[in-house]
Amino acid sequence: MTDIIRILYLIIYLYSANPASQDPVMAQNVFAEYQLSGLEAAVDKLKEYTPEIQTTVEAVPETPAAIKLDPAKLDYKKELITLGFYRKDSKDDKLNLRNAVLRFQSSCNMTVNGEWDKKCLTALAGILTTQDMPGKDLITSLPSEGMWIAINKTKRILTIYEGMNILKKYPVAVGKTSTLTPDGKFTIVSKVIDPDWGGGGYADPVKGGLPDNPLGHRWMGLSYKSGDDLGIHGNNSPYSIGKSISHGCIRMINSDVEELFEIIPKSSKVWVGTDTVLKSWGVEQLGL
């Protein structure tokens, strides 16, 4: 495992430090050489692509911290577009890019926050190298053989499964400290397009379909109290996604919740909990 990390981080280093080396075929060939013949052969393969590099096996860093990564030198926006995380949902391109980062983080089982950092770069380089997502879900208990949802409040990720198979992951916002999203094993009891918002007891109601409706254009109510108190919905505050900020409900990017709305059937099971709670129920979501 140490050798894998060392060769992976050398590839990351070359991607970030040498524009001429930003060739996905190079990464694939180097990694294939490593799998076939080991670390030293992989370093020799790297030298074929970049003869000026004087790297030896001993010089390859032992740990990720030994390399100073510069995310700005890897065009991560371009890669996020290629990988399908970027959508032109808004005229605000800064928001579109933030949403792409959120989706990328959720797909890697990272704690989502919308900030591109070295951890994101490491995950992206790993995906470009191996074509595999770095996160892993271990399911030892199922609420349903069909489609079901797990909402991880720690990582702020909603995962839709079919049996033990991951169908898709989405970033969400969850409740703030004063109005925590409750843990629980729930069921989707309602699905509404352009829901009215009642005001929550602290604001004036807003009719469905209006741009200032806090529920966005979709609502999926959960079997909590009356069925109208807790739900998965859209938003009118797009920069809130990836935060613990709501009054208890689960907020999603509007285009994401519209997609989920079409996928998930009414009566589907929804497990909501922290990392620790979900693990105690048999759902462990491992990430970087």
What residues are labeled active site? 233, 249
- Both tokens of 122, joined, read 């490491």
- Both tokens of 99, joined, read 């949403």
